[in-house]
Chains A and B, each alone.
Chain A
Amino acid sequence: MARCGGDVSRHRKADLETVESLCQGLLDDVMLDDDKCRAMFGYLQEWPDLASMCHSASLLGEPPLAPEASNGSGSSGGGGGFRKRRPDSCLEAKGKSNSVCKRPRGKQQPCDPDQMAAVVGKGKTERARAGAKKKAELALPKDSPATSESTVTAGQKTDYIHVRARRGQATDSHSLAERVRRERISERMRYLQELVPGCNKVTGKAGMLDEIINYVQSLQKQVEFLSMKIAASNPVVNFNIVEDLFSRQLSQAACNPAALAAMAPPIGQAEPSCLQMSPLQQMQTPAGCPGFGLEMIVNNNLFSLAHGGSMSAAAAASVPAGASVESCLNVHGAAGWDIGSQSLFSGFDAPFQSVQSDSLLDNLKMEM
């Protein structure tokens, strides 16, 4: 390194061309990976100190590290115009190397567009320059003393970077901002692609979005279903979940007229807890337990009775669902029980445990 630095300093002008061509060749040929870039940056960040010690050329050795070479070329080429500040030239090289790194890799790295916007934006407007300053600071947080100066180099930097940046790409600030935005979006999309199974096969943003939407919906349903199961298996603890779930179920089941007819009396007269109760049982009915249907009717009757509903309403509710007159009568016999409904339905697993209607009635009697 000292050797090379010496070389460059001694034959600065003579070697300028060769070093530059060498670094260009390296940059064009070699795909720089992240680690290398980072190493380069870290190395370059120490440049100001070293520069104050050894002046510009001492750092410039190690031909394999291309950006250093480019740094050397930049600062030594500064014999032309870039000569004013050493640390600046370092940062300039940093910016350069960054934008150069970006090229061969395509737009893989999220920081690249930023950097690029920073680099090219500086040449455009004062405002863009301020933004670029911010971006540069963000990109290089460690380099606090030098960043303030980095913006000063902007004007100098532009000449070179400008040329590099516009290979078939628009460089006005709008295009740049748009490009940055698109980068971010596609980055997110890639991330989502990893997250959503089966998204790899789909090509195109629309298909992917479709897939993502479906996946999110299916996940939501899954969560609902699972919490419903848990709520049902542990009813007292998860009463709130049950309520939430079955209020949704209720709205979905509203299109079923038979269920509606069976549910009508409690809806008309009872308070929300009763409203929740009915769809729950209605949920149970298709599960293949005939006892539940009967039980539902009984409960409905109880509700209407407990809330002062007429006996005729209770009978009307029970008849279409095919409940036996006997159970109706039994319930009627329990009609004197008007406060117990609260305890029954706050208990909530009482109806669950009584699969048969007569066991329910036993329960009722017990509670009476």
Chain B
Amino acid sequence: MSSRRSSRGSISDEEINELISKLQSLLPNSRRRGSSQASTTKLLKETCNYIKSLHREVDDLSDRLSDLMSTMDHNSPGAEIVRSILRS
């Protein structure tokens, strides 16, 4: 019974390791550092920070876009292009 449990545990561990490395590949820092196996704790911490920075970036870009749209002349060709992109 214990062997079965351990085997099941190892499978899920493998899955989790896979997911962890996948997550690591998504993070810009870990990619740059190139370390194969940083600690999971660190990785999760980095993920937190990365998600936060992405949130910030999205907010910032949205703000900029809305600013652009509001300041842009409605008849200008730039506005036309932006609108066509937004429609797509």
Contact = CB atoms under 8 A, between A and B. Distances in A.
Interface in A221-258: 222-223, 226-230, 232-234
Interface string B50-86: 1110110110011011001100100001111110111
Nearest to B51: A195
A286 interface: yes
Contact of A212 (B23, B62, B64, B87): B23
Contacts of B64: 230
A234 B78 contact: yes
A210 B23 CA distance: 9
A165 B85 CA distance: 63
Nearest to B59: A226
A284 B79 CA distance: 14
A367 B41 CA distance: 59
Chain A at the B interface: SS class: helix
B26 A216 contact: yes
Contacts of B12: 205-206
A196 interface: yes
B84 A287 contact: yes
B38 interface: no
A32 B3 CA distance: 40
A212 B49 CA distance: 13
B81 A226 contact: no
Contact of A195 (B52, B69, B77): B52
Contacts of A319: none
Interface residues of B, number: 40
Contacts of B57: 223
Contact of A184 (B41, B54, B62, B78): B41
B82 A229 contact: yes
B86 to A, nearest CB: 7
A223 B58 contact: yes
B65 A216 contact: no
B7 to A, nearest CB: 16
Contacts, number: 107
A352 interface: yes
A212 to B, nearest CB: 6
Interface string A175-202: 0000001001100110110011000000
Contact of A216 (B40, B54, B62): B54
B76 to A, nearest CB: 9
B22 interface: yes
Interface in A335-368: 349, 352-353, 355
Given A188-B41, A205-B16, A352-B78, A226 B47 contact: no
A189 B80 CA distance: 45
A188 B42 CA distance: 9
A195 B26 contact: no
A229 B65 contact: yes
A233 B77 contact: no
Nearest to B23: A213
A29 B12 CA distance: 38
A216 B77 contact: no
B16 A232 contact: no
Nearest to B46: A188
The 4 closest A-B pairs by CB, nearest first: A188-B44, A226-B61, A209-B19, A219-B54
Given A192-B51, A233-B72, A355-B80, 12 more contacts: A188-B48, A189-B44, A191-B48, A195-B51, A195-B52, A206-B19, A216-B27, A233-B78, A233-B81, A287-B84, A288-B87, A349-B77
21 contacts: A181-B40, A188-B44, A189-B44, A192-B48, A205-B16, A206-B16, A209-B23, A212-B23, A216-B54, A219-B54, A229-B82, A230-B68, A232-B82, A233-B79, A233-B85, A287-B84, A349-B78, A352-B77, A352-B78, A352-B81, A353-B77
Interface of A: 181, 184-185, 188-189, 191-192, 195-196, 205-206, 209-210, 212-213, 215-217, 219-220, 222-223, 226-230, 232-234, 284, 286-289, 349, 352-353, 355
